[in-house]
Amino acid sequence: MKPRPPEAPRLVRRQRGGALLSAALLLLLAASATLAASAHLAHQAKQRSNERTVAALAQAKDALIGYAFGYPELAHDGQGIGYLPCPDKTNNGSGFGTCNVRHHGALGRIPYRTLGLPVLRDGDGQCLWYAVAGSVKNNPKPLALNWDSPGQFRIVSPSGRPISGEEHNVVAAILSPGGALPSQTRPPALTATQRCPGSADASADLPAFLDRAYATDISGNLDIVHGEVGAGTNDAAVWITVDELFSVLRRRSDFSAMIDTVLDASVNALASRLDPADADSPSAAFLETHAETLIGNRAHGLLPNSAALGVAEAQANGYDNWRDQLRFVACVDGGACLTAAMADSATSHAVSATETCRALVLFGGERLRGGTPQRRRTATERADPAQYLEGMNRESFITGTGGYVGYRHYAIASPRQPASEDLIRCVP
């Protein structure tokens, strides 16, 4: 029997089929690798964009706090610390000039030139925006600025969940617009001198860059939305609270001396108003006008503004900024009916003595925090001496009996804790 020839065509077909399958698998693997690489690159690009945004926001925040810290030295001699600049309203990088009326907040672009910065852009190449509360803006200035100045903003999620802590305690917010949403058309810069896209009118440009319908003139409290992926807003925000601001400001080497100047000015002016009492004396007139309570021989109240008290012009601005921290208690008959046991400061207890006084000036210090905090936001809270004074001082002031105890000078005993110790000055 003649042998059969090998089945070459069938074998070739099998080999060709295997080769095609292998090629298909290789193509599939290559496509998967390409997709994975593309996804990885996209993730890296997004991560780098986020990092640039975070860095720009942090740089702007640091610059704003630095501006507030050095405000008296920035060609503002004789003025207090803590003021923040107005936003850039005209797309020239400057916050010079006024922004709205006193006590109104303002929103515009970050004033990078005023802050001594290069133009700041987020990871999508967009210039940053900035909101400042009327309680800390520099023009027109608030009537008082200190560590109890109220915030005006609250940072919330797109669903309205509060992010920034206590309600509307934020005094400044910096915003990154991110990429344009489908509903936004962002105009280019209109002139060669403009570093940021858009016109010379921040109010007209705002809807094209920020995702919520904010106003540039802010008369009341405002929620500012910090965006989330898929939530219809991609604005990112960082913010500054008044506590955060003053945790830095009180590190100034002259901060304690500034508080001392306020106390000295108040004591000197009060002493001149409390001449020996009789029916027609300046003392009687002053106490009749400014004492809120009269218990026995003691009159208690808030000190009036610098003009009414007669504070020297050189100290008037600083005094008025801190006046809400000050209270007085005076002997109605002009005698020395008050006692105060005083040490030098919270960091120096060695020098202490009990003084006999015809009046005392009491300075409340920073708010207590923690389990039993002091609150000074509303008019009712600010009128309550218990929100400023502690222990024996609180009881003596409220009841009109007993002595007082405290420190002559402001000092920070613990950098991580508020310096809430009561300060006392005697009018002998």
Task: Report whether pLDDT(201) > 90.
Answer: yes
How far apart (Å, rounded) are the C-alpha atoms in residues 263 and 422? 12
Q: Which residue has the higher pLDDT, 356 or 46?
A: 356
d(CA 117, CA 397): 49
In this structure, the answer to whether residues 160 and 280 fall within a common structural domain is: no
Name the residue with higher pLDDT: 161 or 228.
161
Confidence of residue 161 (pLDDT cuts 50, 70, 90): very high
DSSP-derived pairing of the beta strands 298-302 and 326-331: antiparallel
Residue 25 within a domain: no
Q: What pLDDT does 278 receive?
A: 47
Q: Let me know: does 88 contact 120? Beta carbons within 8 Å.
A: no
121 falls in which pLDDT band (50, 70, 90)? very high
pLDDT score, position 79: 86
Percentage of the chain beyond pLDDT 90 is 75
Q: What is the mean pLDDT of the chain?
A: 89
Domain end, chosen from 213, 229, 248, is at 248
Q: Is position 26 within any domain? A: no
- Exposed, middle or buried, 158 (CB in 10 Å: 0-12/13-18/19+)? middle
pLDDT of the residue at 145: 97
Whether 202 and 239 map to the same domain: the answer is yes
> What token pair was written down for 343?
């040490």
What 187-190 contacts at long range (C-beta under 8 Å, 24+ apart), as own/partner pairs, is: 189/91
Three-state DSSP class for residue 212: coil
CB within 8 Å of 44: residues ≥ 6 apart:
none
In a domain, 177, yes or no: yes
Q: According to the model, what pLDDT value does residue 78 have?
A: 75
| Residue 285 binned pLDDT confidence (cut-offs 50, 70, 90) | confident
Task: Give the residue from 204, 232, 248 where a domain finishes.
Answer: 248
Distance of alpha carbon 149 from alpha carbon 366, whole angstroms: 12
Same domain for 278 and 200 = no
Same domain, 228 and 361: no
Q: Which range has the worst mean pLDDT, 10-19, 265-274, 311-320?
A: 10-19
99: left (phi over 0), alpha (psi -120 to 50) or beta: beta
* Range 381-417 burial, b when 16+ CB lie within 10 A, else e: eeebbebbbbeebbbbbbebeeebbbbbbbbbeeeee
Q: What is the pLDDT of residues 6-18, one digit of tens each?
A: 555 555 555 555 6
For 118, which DSSP code? Answer: P
Could you tell me if residue 422 is inside a domain? yes
User: Which of 248, 273, 308 is at the close of a domain?
Assistant: 248
pLDDT, residue 279, reads 46
Residues 263 and 234 grouped into a single domain: no
Q: Are residues 198 and 323 in the same domain?
A: no
- Please report the pLDDT score of residue 36 as a whole number: 54
Domain count, the chain: 2
- Residue 31 has a pLDDT of 57
Tell me whether residue 42 is in a domain.
no
d(CA 389, CA 366): 10
Amino acid at 345: S
Across 139-153, 275-289, 319-333, least confident range: 275-289
Same domain for 261 and 243, yes or no, is no
Give the pLDDT band (50/70/90) at residue 75: confident
| Whether residue 266 is found in the same domain as residue 174 | no
Residue labelled with tokens 């508080």: 259
- Cis peptide leading into residue 162 (ω within 30°): no
- For residue 242, give both structure tokens: 């008044």
The confidence band for 371, taking pLDDT boundaries of 50, 70 and 90, is confident
User: Which band of pLDDT confidence, cut at 50, 70 and 90, is reported for residue 63?
Assistant: very high
Write down the pTM of the prediction.
0.87
In whole angstroms, give the CA distance from residue 215 to residue 172.
Answer: 15
Q: Per-residue pLDDT for 30 more than 70?
A: no
- CA nearest neighbour of 195 among 75, 333, 317, 90: 90
Tokens 């009326």 correspond to what residue? 101
Q: Could you list the residue range(s) of the whole structural domain that residue 197 is in?
A: 51-248
For residues 218 and 228, the model is more confident at 218
Six-digit token pair at 154? 């609250």
- Let me know if 189 is exposed, middle or buried by CB neighbors in 10 A (0-12, 13-18, 19+): middle
Examine the pLDDT at 1 and tell me if it is beyond 80.
Answer: no
Instruction: Return the pLDDT at 324.
Output: 96
- pLDDT computed for residue 348 by the predictor: 87
Contact at 8 Å (CB) between 286 and 230? Answer: no
- Please write the tens of the pLDDT for every residue from 380-424: 999 999 999 999 999 999 999 999 999 999 999 988 899 999 999
- What is the Cα Rg of the chain in Å? 32
Same structural domain, 259 and 293: yes
Specify if 396 maps to a domain. yes
**How many other C-beta atoms lie within 10 A of the C-beta of residue 307?**
10
Q: Two tokens at 414?
A: 């613990």
* % of the chain residues with pLDDT over 70: 87
Following DSSP, what letter does each residue of 215-232 receive, concatenated? -SEE-S-EEEE--BTTTT
Report CA torsion sign: 162, 168, 174, 178.
Answer: positive
**Least confident segment among 120-124, 192-196, 252-256:** 192-196
Residue 161 and residue 228 in contact, taking contact as beta carbons nearer than 8 Å = no
The whole-number pLDDT of residue 396 equals 97
Terminal Cα distance for the chain, rounded? 140
209 and 166 fall within a common domain: yes
Residue 342 lies in a domain: yes
- 408 inside domain: yes
- How far does Cα 207 stand from its chain's mean position? 25
Q: What is the residue type of 384?
A: D
Average pLDDT estimate for 121-142: 96
- Given a contact cutoff of 8 angstroms between Cβ atoms, the answer to whether 427 and 268 are in contact is no
Residues 157 and 280 in one domain: no
- Using an 8 Å Cβ cutoff, are 309 and 303 in contact? yes
Same domain? For 279 and 228 the reply is no
The 10s digit of each residue's pLDDT in 226-269 is: 998 777 899 999 999 999 999 999 999 999 999 999 999 999 99
Q: CA torsion, points 419, 74, 323, 412, in degrees to nearest 10? A: 10
